């Protein structure tokens, strides 16, 4: 039985009743000859009142069991834009029939009918282009059906968690299977509000009571919830379902869309997981994608999606106002002959390995095999042969250019061979190190959604247990039962055998994606940083040129990111005996042994590794010291280190020039400073850590901070200005993986007209009169006090000059703009329990620091980040200090 549309109550939070309207729509399909009443939100009348013509229309379609209330923030923001006088879009957000406040038709409405319903609605509204569709959940599918049926009006598509295809043979998500069980469907979706309540409970953070009530408002009775049950019943579980042909039609049509596309995703969704995002990316490879880490199914409630939508519309304004404009290359254009698009002077990352293919000299020495295992030595000839066979074998079993391959193998000859094999065929290497921990590693792997996982047994076991995606390939050959239990399809030995007589495919282009390297996660969830082949090759070149690396140089790499560069540089490399995921396991004797075995002249170490190397220097033999005396260059990479630690390391390698380059995962080498430069900087009045001057053609500028601690100044080279460091380099990363909004925010224009790519590092510092870069902390750690901005590193350095202080962190507590500084210190000797420092130490620290301190706290050990074990976790300390000073029980931070 039909019940007409109505207007929502006027007191729903966040929803302005001015935007609600009822539209009478002549029916189509099963509704032919009837008129249906739709409720929608429409800002058109308000735009007319403001005399502000719209540049186009956003057609927003909710899913099940929500309604147009989902889009209230976007409605409000579009009107605010109009009031401010900027370009604005009309927003029309429908309540689908039988949902929200639209008419209850009492008629079964399969997917094809709902697509026809939406077309009838837009025709009744006389909606013309340009139109950008916006859909969530099953509203995403319906909106896409409209999109592919209206190419002349369509300007773009935007989607929040949804799906257009489900793999054959894979069960639909468990919550939907349960809801569809006979006898459960009606009870959970219609008779009771269980399905609605469960959906609302997915919000993170939780919805307040008033917002939950607003979502429930149109579904107060079983009669008004029949549409919810109908939607669940219409899920095409297999090819026999009546809506499967329409879903298949839409899925195929989406793959042909060339208009701009935006995908905003909540990865914690138990229904529309990253599997469905990956499918959409395959169909819309040109789409801008942003995963809101920590958000779930109700991503529109969990995160400020409206800001992202409007930013994207603004960025794409010219294209979106011209329906039908092609925004992506066709498949034929994307797979054109690489020689036609190769960059001038581009030399592939694997070229020097190929050049030494006939060389019997040692290429890689792996000493990190454990003391019970012999040292492994691999020649250039062996390495090249293994790379070629692996590359051909991977291609034979179906790994193709652009496929993502997650590597869960420790640094060594096997990892090197697999990496270069993947690069050679154009597969994208995904590297997230074990230092992220199981939770961080799972988040990283799922976020990248690899096509293949290659790993040792522990990694494959984790992949199986935690549901990581991808075909599994084991590094060792496993017993058949073990391989089956882990879901392993092949071993690397199988891959080598498969590639024995196979030829290699065409190599990738310079501009193709080559690798996704994950950040440390020390300032938030780890981000996937995408490098192209050209950018990896540029990194190789700047490293070789700046440190004069030749075929006879030899590298000792106690820092995992650089352990793979030996073959690219055409020089032998050695990994010391250590647990590469735990830098503090490296000893001075292990470094000496690696130098002796490789005759290495350059040593790469992380700051955490150096700490233990210095601490274990007393164990060195005379032979060890003789070997270390032959080192000519020593590098500490991963985080800036102080002069004292660098001096101590230099004493172990007395004839080496000590360097501490500055960089980040997004740009691994930016500046460089030697120990002599550090000593020179020690006489400077500048605050912070001096990291030297830019390497090669790299550029560094500073964007000045405003009174709130935001980097709003036009980037410049003016000395003495505190601000965010922005960098440009030939090897600067291409983009963040599936983090469009983060990528957008990290790019900075300099306003000087130069066509350079600039990256906002998130580091705070300044340039001095000599062009040297000084790092003074991270942007989130700047303390915005009432009368000043406090960058932490300079203050920490002054505290650390106090004799009893081993290490210090200066953090803020209190509200932004009125924050107060607190010093947290490790003491010598260490305190047993965390809490207020003794009065004498507090007085000395306050006298030394030069800024007001509300308190001085002492801890047994300062918390550090999970990858480098050297960067102090100031965010964690800030929350801990605030709790302690508010009366919380004293515990270790």
Total length of the chain: 893
The CA distance from 429 to 488, in Å, is 19
Contact 749, 728 (CB under 8 A): no
Lowest model confidence (mean pLDDT) among 29-43, 64-78, 107-121, 313-327: 313-327
The helix (run of H) or strand (run of E) holding residue 679 is helix 675-681
pLDDT surpasses 80 at 522: no
What mean pLDDT do residues 674-692 have? 91
What mean pLDDT do residues 387-408 have? 96
Of residues 412 and 769, which shows the higher confidence score?
Answer: 769
pLDDT surpasses 60 at 705: yes
Closest CA to 199 of 14, 63, 12: 63
Q: What values do phi and psi take at 705, rounded to 5?
A: -85, 145
E strands present in 551-601 = 555-558, 573-575
What mean pLDDT do residues 596-605 have? 92
What mean pLDDT do residues 78-86 have? 90
Of residues 489 and 756, which shows the higher confidence score?
Answer: 489
What mean pLDDT do residues 163-182 have? 70
pLDDT surpasses 50 at 335: no
What mean pLDDT do residues 233-257 have? 92
Q: Looking at residue 3, what is its pLDDT?
A: 83
For the stretch 839-869, pLDDT in tens is 999 999 999 998 999 999 999 998 876 444 4
pLDDT surpasses 60 at 330: no
What mean pLDDT do residues 4-14 have? 94
**In whole angstroms, how far apart are CA 303 and each of 275, 524, 692?**
21, 16, 39
pLDDT surpasses 80 at 178: no
Per DSSP, the three-state class of 80 is: helix
Of residues 447 and 723, which shows the higher confidence score?
Answer: 723
Strand pairing report for 513-518 and 528-532: antiparallel
**In whole angstroms, how far apart are CA 197 and each of 188, 204, 268, 523?**
10, 14, 17, 34
Lowest model confidence (mean pLDDT) among 175-189, 406-420, 446-460, 511-525: 175-189
The CA distance from 74 to 76, in Å, is 5
The CA distance from 8 to 11, in Å, is 9
Listing DSSP states for 352-398 in one string gives HHHHTTT--SEEEEE-TT-TTSPPEEEEHHHHHHHHHHHHHHHHHTT
The CA distance from 692 to 715, in Å, is 19
What mean pLDDT do residues 731-754 have? 84
The CA distance from 688 to 616, in Å, is 28
Lowest model confidence (mean pLDDT) among 274-288, 517-531, 807-821: 517-531
Tokens matching residue 890: 């004293």
Q: What values do phi and psi take at 553, rounded to 5?
A: -65, -55
E strands present in 15-150 = 20-26, 35-42, 57-61, 90-94, 131-135
Q: Looking at residue 327, what is its pLDDT?
A: 40
Helical segments of 235-288, H only: 244-254, 274-283
The CA distance from 296 to 658, in Å, is 48
Give the Cα-Cα-Cα angle 620, 366, 671 (nearest 5 degrees): 75
pLDDT surpasses 80 at 339: no
Q: Looking at residue 753, what is its pLDDT?
A: 58
pLDDT surpasses 80 at 361: yes
Q: Looking at residue 324, what is its pLDDT?
A: 53
Lowest model confidence (mean pLDDT) among 421-430, 587-596, 742-751, 762-771: 742-751
Q: What values do phi and psi take at 129, rounded to 5?
A: -75, 170
Q: Looking at residue 280, what is its pLDDT?
A: 97
Per DSSP, the three-state class of 634 is: strand
Lowest model confidence (mean pLDDT) among 61-75, 215-229, 250-264, 681-695: 681-695
Q: pLDDT-based confidence at 343, cuts 50/70/90?
A: low
pLDDT surpasses 90 at 606: no
What mean pLDDT do residues 863-887 have? 78
What mean pLDDT do residues 571-587 have? 84
- My answer on whether omega of the bond before 109 falls inside 30° of 0, hence cis, is no
Q: What values do phi and psi take at 507, rounded to 5?
A: -70, 160
Q: Looking at residue 150, what is its pLDDT?
A: 96
Q: Looking at residue 636, what is its pLDDT?
A: 87
What mean pLDDT do residues 143-161 have? 97
**Which domains are assigned to the chain?**
17-170+238-320 (3.40.50.1820), 350-581 (3.40.50.12780), 664-779 (2.30.38.10), 782-885 (3.30.300.30)
For the stretch 635-677, pLDDT in tens is 987 776 777 888 898 899 999 999 999 999 999 899 999 999 9
Tokens matching residue 605: 């170490």
Of residues 29 and 579, which shows the higher confidence score?
Answer: 29
């Amino acid at each position: 039985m039909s019940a007409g549309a109505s207007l929502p109550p006027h007191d729903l939070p966040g929803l302005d009743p001015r935007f609600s309207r009822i539209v009478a729509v002549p029916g189509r399909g099963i509704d032919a000859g009837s008129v249906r009443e739709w409720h929608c939100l429409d800002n058109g009348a308000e735009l007319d009142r403001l005399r502000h013509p719209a540049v186009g229309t956003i057609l927003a379609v909710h899913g099940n069991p929500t309604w147009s209330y989902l889009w209230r923030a976007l409605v409000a923001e579009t009107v605010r834009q109009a009031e401010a006088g900027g370009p604005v879009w009309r927003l029309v957000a429908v309540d689908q029939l039988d949902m929200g406040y639209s008419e209850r038709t009492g008629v079964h409405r399969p997917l094809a009918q709902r697509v026809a319903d939406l077309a009838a609605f837009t025709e009744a509204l006389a909606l013309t282009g340009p139109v950008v569709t916006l859909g969530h959940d099953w509203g995403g599918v319906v909106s896409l059906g409209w999109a592919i049926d209206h190419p002349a009006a369509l300007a773009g598509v935007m989607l929040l968690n949804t799906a257009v295809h489900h793999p054959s043979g894979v069960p639909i998500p468990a919550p939907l299977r349960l809801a569809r069980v006979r006898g459960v469907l009606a009870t959970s979706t219609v008779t009771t509000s269980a399905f609605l309540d469960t959906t609302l409970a997915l919000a993170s953070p939780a919805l307040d009571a008033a917002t939950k009530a607003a979502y429930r408002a149109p579904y107060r009775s079983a009669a008004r919830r029949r549409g919810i049950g109908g939607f669940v019943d219409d899920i095409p579980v297999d090819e026999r379902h009546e809506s499967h042909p329409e879903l298949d039609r839409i899925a195929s049509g989406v793959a042909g869309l060339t208009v701009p596309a935006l995908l905003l995703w909540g990865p914690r969704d138990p229904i529309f997981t990253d599997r469905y995002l990956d499918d959409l990316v395959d169909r819309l490879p040109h789409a801008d994608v942003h995963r809101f880490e920590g958000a779930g199914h109700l991503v529109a409630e969990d995160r400020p999606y409206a800001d992202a939508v409007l930013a994207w519309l603004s960025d794409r304004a010219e294209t979106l106002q011209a329906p039908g404009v092609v925004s992506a290359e066709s498949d034929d254009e994307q797979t054109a002959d690489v020689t036609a698009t190769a960059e001038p002077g581009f030399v592939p990352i694997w070229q020097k390995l190929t050049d030494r293919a006939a060389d019997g000299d040692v290429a890689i020495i792996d000493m990190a095999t454990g003391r019970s295992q012999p040292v492994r030595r691999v020649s250039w000839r062996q390495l090249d042969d293994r790379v070629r066979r692996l590359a051909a074998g991977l291609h034979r079993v179906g790994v193709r250019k652009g496929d993502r391959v997650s590597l869960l193998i420790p640094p060594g000859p096997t990892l090197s061979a697999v990496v270069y094999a993947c690069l050679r065929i154009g597969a994208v290497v995904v590297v997230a190190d074990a230092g992220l921990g199981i939770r961080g590693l799972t988040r990283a792997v799922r976020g990248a959604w690899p096509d293949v996982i290659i790993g040792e047994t522990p990694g494959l076991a984790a992949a199986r247990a935690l549901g990581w995606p991808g075909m599994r390939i084991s590094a060792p050959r496993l017993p058949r039962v073990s391989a089956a239990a882990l879901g392993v399809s092949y071993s690397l030995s199988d891959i080598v055998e498969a590639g024995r007589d196979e030829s290699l495919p065409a190599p990738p282009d310079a501009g193709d994606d080559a690798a996704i390297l994950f950040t440390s996660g020390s300032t938030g969830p780890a981000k996937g940083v995408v490098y192209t082949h050209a950018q990896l090759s540029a990194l190789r070149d700047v490293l070789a040129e700046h440190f004069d690396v030749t075929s006879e140089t030899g590298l000792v790499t106690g820092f995992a990111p650089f352990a793979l560069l030996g073959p690219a540089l055409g020089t032998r490399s050695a990994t010391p005996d250590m647990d590469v995921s735990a830098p503090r396991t490296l000893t001075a004797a292990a470094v000496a042994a690696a130098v002796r075995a490789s005759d290495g002249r350059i040593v790469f170490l992380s700051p955490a590794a150096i700490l233990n190397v210095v601490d274990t220097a007393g164990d060195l033999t005379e032979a060890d010291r003789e070997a270390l005396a032959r080192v000519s260059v020593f590098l500490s990479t991963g985080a800036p280190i102080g002069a004292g630690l660098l001096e101590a390391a230099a004493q172990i390698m007395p004839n080496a020039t000590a360097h501490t380059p500055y960089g980040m995962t997004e740009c691994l080498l930016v500046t460089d400073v030697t120990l002599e430069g550090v000593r020179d900087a020690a006489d400077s009045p500048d605050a912070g850590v001096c990291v030297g001057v830019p390497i090669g053609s790299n550029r560094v500028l500073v964007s000045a901070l405003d009174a709130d601690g935001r980097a709003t100044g036009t980037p410049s080279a003016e000395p003495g200005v505190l601000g965010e460091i922005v960098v440009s380099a030939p090897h600067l990363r291409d983009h963040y993986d599936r983090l469009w909004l983060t990528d957008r925010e990290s790019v900075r224009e300099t306003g000087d007209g130069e066509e350079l790519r600039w990256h906002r590092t998130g580091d705070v510092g300044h340039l001095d009169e000599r062009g040297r870069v000084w790092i003074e902390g991270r942007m989130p750690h700047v303390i915005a006090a009432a009368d000043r901005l406090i960058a932490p590193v300079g203050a920490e350095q002054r505290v650390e000059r106090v004799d009893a202080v081993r290490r210090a962190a200066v953090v803020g507590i209190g509200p932004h703009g009125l924050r107060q500084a607190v010093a947290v210190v490790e003491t010598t000797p260490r305190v047993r329990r965390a809490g207020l420092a003794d009065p004498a130490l507090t007085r000395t620290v306050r006298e030394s620091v030069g800024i007001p301190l509300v308190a001085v706290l002492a801890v047994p050990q300062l918390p550090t980040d999970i990858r480098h074990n050297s960067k102090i976790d100031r965010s964690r300390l800030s929350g801990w200090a605030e709790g302690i000073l508010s009366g919380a029980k004293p515990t270790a931070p």
